[in-house]
Amino acid sequence: MKIVDAKVVVTSPGRNFVTLKLTTDEGLTGLGDATLNGRELAVVSYLADHVVPLLIGLDPHRVEDTWQSLYRGAYWRRGPVTMAAIAAVDVALWDIKAKAAGLPLYQLLGGASRERVGTYGHAGGRDIPELLDSVRARLAEGYPAVRVQSGIPGLKAVYGVVDTDDTGAPVLHQQARPLVEDWDTAAYLRHVPAVFEAVRAEFGAELPLLHDVHHRLTPIQAARLGKDLEPYRPFWLEDCTPAENQEALRLVRRSTTTPLAVGEVFNTVYDYQALITEQLIDYVRSAVTHFGGVTPLRKLFDFAAQYQIRSAIHGPEDISPVGMAAAVHLDLAVHNFGIQEYSGHTPLTEAVFRHAYTFTDGHLHPGETPGIGVELDEELAAAHPYEAAYLPVNRLHDGTVHDW
């Protein structure tokens, strides 16, 4: 079998998605997600200009060899653009291999290690009463665990809280120019324990509660927050310090027993090396789409398993259904699965990417369709072309840029 066609499809059914579609001489097709939110077209060029010419004529069964040749052959290794491009190729090849075998991908990864995949959903409110309503809504949708994010008194816009305009309509964080949010670390640190206290008082001790700090604290601030949240037994504290500094988590770890989750902006196992071998974290959070695909993420999970660290694949709305499908196959197969982030997609996105995976009673299942189980409606995709969009930036009250 040979790859005879490779094309990159960019579509924006509400937000931008980049998809690689490979076709073989036997008529099999494979899809891979290459969406890098806010920098999408850099990956499009990487794929179309530099990778697609190398794929034509390749045997799609050679998944590992193709991964190694794209990773090592570029010489310029790692980085989000490179690894998103390689991820798309890797997942598309796994899709073809599984289709050729007549099996859903999870069967090629060792088969199911569980019956279904537990998830957490996002709850957010501009204040605590609005947050409690949002938690109630997620529980009504069946989610067994909830990430809680709240507005902070004195701040206009905060990560994880949907902003609304004067008419009450949601303001999308994807903008033609970056939306400017504001930040005050002291106000945040004062408010978050009260948020957890209110949610525990309303929903009891058993509900798993997660919280995302989005890389905004110094090590000593993160240590303080971890200690302050201990009475509320969070499921985890996510990305508490900036991702570039692995050493930061030594101080946090020494100071608190609150579980720590990191890695959504990591690209390779080397970003995790000290964190895993020194057991500084509890969950690895990389997405299939940004970590070079199923091949390296499976290896990361096996490495993490030696240290009792669990998987928790990044699953925001900007991971396309193609990337989500690949994640759910891995989730079902790996032994050290922890939890899967899942927000779902809009009906229009689900029409562009028809998928076999299902979400029932707060749990995902990849389905039994051979391959990853996603079909791309190219006509509908073409009807919704790329739109320029940026993620927000964050500024302190004096105008200084802060981590977003």
Task: Indicate which residue of 159, 307, 386, 390 is catalytic.
Answer: 159
Which lies closer to Mg ion via its Cβ, residue 15 or residue 116? 15
Among 214, 314, 363, 384, the active-site one is: 214
Instruction: Respond yes or no: is residue 188 known to be catalytic.
Output: no
Report the residue number, 63 or 213, with the smaller CB distance to Mg ion. 213
Phi and psi at residue 188, to the nearest 5°: -60, -50
Q: Which stretch binds Mg ion (CB under 5 A): 118-126, 205-213, 221-229, 297-305?
A: 205-213
Residue carrying the six token digits 């899942």: 342
- Binding to Mg ion, residues 135-174 (CB under 5 A): none
Minimal CB distance to Mg ion: which residue?
212
Return the closest-CA partner of residue 71 out of 244, 243, 267: 267
Q: Which stretch binds Mg ion (CB under 5 A): 89-97, 211-219, 251-259, 379-387?
A: 211-219
Interface region with Mg ion, contact rule CB under 5 A, candidates 75-83, 159-167, 199-207, 209-217: 209-217
Q: How far is the CB of 402 from Mg ion (least distance, A)?
A: 16
Residue 390 CB, nearest distance to Mg ion (Å)? Answer: 18
Q: Can you state the percent helix, strand and coil of the chain, rounding each to 5?
A: 40, 20, 40
Binding residues with Mg ion: total (CB under 5 A): 1
Examine the residue annotation and report whether 214 is marked as an active-site residue of this protein: yes
- Residue number with CB closer to Mg ion (232 or 266): 266
What's the rounded Cα separation, in Å, for the pair 404 and 298?
29
Stretch that binds Mg ion, among 39-47, 207-215, 276-284, 373-381 (CB under 5 A): 207-215
CB 147 → Mg ion: shortest distance, Å?
8
Pick from 95, 212, 317, 318: which binds Mg ion (CB under 5 A)? 212
Smallest distance from Mg ion to CB 265, Å? 9
**Structure-token pair, residue 53:** 């010419």
Residues facing residue 147 across a β-bridge: 122, 210
If the CB atoms of residues 10 and 210 are measured against Mg ion, the closer one turns out to be 210
Structure tokens of 56?
């034509």
Which part of the chain contacts Mg ion (CB under 5 A), choosing from 120-128, 208-216, 300-308, 375-383?
208-216
Min dist. Cβ of residue 314 to Mg ion (A): 7
No. of H helices and E strands in the chain?
14, 20
Minimum gap (Å) between residue 170 Cβ and Mg ion: 19
Distance CA 128, CA 150 (A): 7
How many C-beta neighbours within 10 Å does residue 213 have? 20
Please count the other Cβ atoms lying within 10 Å of the Cβ belonging to residue 155.
17
The residue (of 6 and 288) whose beta carbon lies closer to Mg ion is 288
Of 90 and 212, the one with the shorter C-beta distance to Mg ion is 212
- Of 179, 177, 128, 127, residue with least CA distance to 155: 127
> CB-based contacts of 21: which residues, under 8 Å, 6+ apart?
5, 6, 7, 8, 9, 29, 30, 31, 92, 376, 378
**Could you please report the per-residue DSSP string of 155-224?**
-S--TTS-EE-TTSPEEPS-BSSPPEEEE-HHHHHHHHHHHHHHHHHHH-SSS-EEEE-TT-S-HHHHHH
Stretch in the footprint of Mg ion (CB under 5 A) among 26-34, 116-124, 175-183, 204-212: 204-212
Does 33 contact Mg ion by CB under 5 A?
Answer: no
Phi, psi (degrees; rounded to nearest 5) at 18? -115, 125
**Based on CB atoms, which residue is closest to Mg ion, 30 or 259?**
259
Separation between Cα atoms, residue 148 and residue 103, nearest integer Å = 38
Measured in degrees and rounded to the nearest 5, phi and psi for residue 292 equal 90, 5
The pattern of x and - marking residues 174 through 193 that bind Mg ion according to CB under 5 A reads: --------------------
For the CB of residue 212, give the shortest distance to Mg ion in the complex, in Å.
4
Which lies closer to Mg ion via its Cβ, residue 212 or residue 331? 212
Task: List active site positions.
Answer: 159, 214
Point out which residues bind Mg ion (CB under 5 A).
212
